[in-house]
Amino acid sequence: MAKIALKVDVDTLLGTQVGTPNLAKLFAELGVGATFLFSLGPDHTGWALKRVFRPGFLKKVSRTSVVEHYGIKTLLYGVLLPAPDIGKRAANEMRAVDQAGHETGIHTWDHVYWQDNVHQRDASWTRQQMQKAYDRFIEIFGHPPVTHGAAGWQMNLAALEQIDAWGMLYASDGRSAPNLVPYRIAFGQQKSKHVQYPTTLPTFDELIGIDGTDAFGAAQQILAMTQSNPNDQVFTLHAELEGQKLLPAFRKLLLGWLEQGHELVTMGVLHRSWAATGQLDKIATEQFKYGSIANRSGELMVQASTSTDF
């Protein structure tokens, strides 16, 4: 069947210290690899409370039980509690997944700060934030990161250009409709050297609570999308969700994919499989675009050639 790349977004200190080891244990049990993308600086999760006025945010919070998944302490970081430095406090947990053979890359320096600002900020601010993450990554792992996956799927052109400047060959910064179609980003008359592999499948938190769907129901919906589907996919999960309360449902999803005959891989394995076919020489170059995703508040980076109604 197809390859399904597992992209783990790690947003918080809790997700790094608890969710990440839980996921690593599950992946070891099933013999699969994943790409872990880390938030490497301060955990300002509490700052996200200002999104209460964003259309759709309160509805999502009520559906996915944010307090239950993140805990009161995490939701107070940067508000009533000091923001802990994730890279300093949880370096051992990060290195453990790297040493276990999983792929590791950059999610962001400061998750909430990036997600709420990057769309409006200039190239100087963008490069500064990204360089902090890059330097901390090398400090922790002792080698450069090979890939990038944006916090909240929020990017700008300067950020995409920085991925090229770092020499990364592939990234997964945006969203697209189901069935993977890799592409390059247009930089004026030029095109990016790196290839974008957008997230193609809905996330658990986009399905839970819709028409009464619970976590196991969400897993079944995703499995229905990949049943007898020969196309590669990218699935994004979160260490704070699937690595904790949603772990049993996520385990069911992984077992279902293996039963369907899919190969569960890292972003790097996915990229090399496309490169080996020679198809990357023929993929489209597309304009950077923002759009909306069903059951997710706000706008985010989407693939320009696909409908945003997914």
pLDDT at 49 over 70: no
Domain ranges in the chain? 3-301
Closest CA to 178 of 307, 9, 50: 307
What pLDDT band is residue 306 in, cutting at 50, 70 and 90? confident
Q: What is the pLDDT of residue 160?
A: 98
What pLDDT band is residue 1 in, cutting at 50, 70 and 90? confident
| Average pLDDT value for residue range 10-38 | 98
pLDDT at 57 over 50: no
Topology (CATH level 3) of domain 3-301 = TIM Barrel (3.20.20)
What pLDDT band is residue 81 in, cutting at 50, 70 and 90? confident
pLDDT at 159 over 90: yes
Q: What is the pLDDT of residue 124?
A: 98
Nearest-Å Rg of the Cα atoms of the chain is 18
Q: Is the pTM for the entire model greater than 0.85?
A: yes
What pLDDT band is residue 63 in, cutting at 50, 70 and 90? very low
pLDDT in tens, 249-273: 999 999 999 999 999 999 999 999 9
Average pLDDT of the chain to the nearest whole number: 92
| Average pLDDT value for residue range 128-148 | 98
Q: How many CA atoms lie within 13 A of 156 on its CB side?
A: 17
pLDDT in tens, 26-44: 999 999 999 999 999 999 8
Task: Express as a percent the part of the chain with pLDDT over 90.
Answer: 85
Beta bridge partners of 48: none
Angle between helices 20-30 and 247-260 (to 10 degrees): 30
| Average pLDDT value for residue range 119-145 | 98
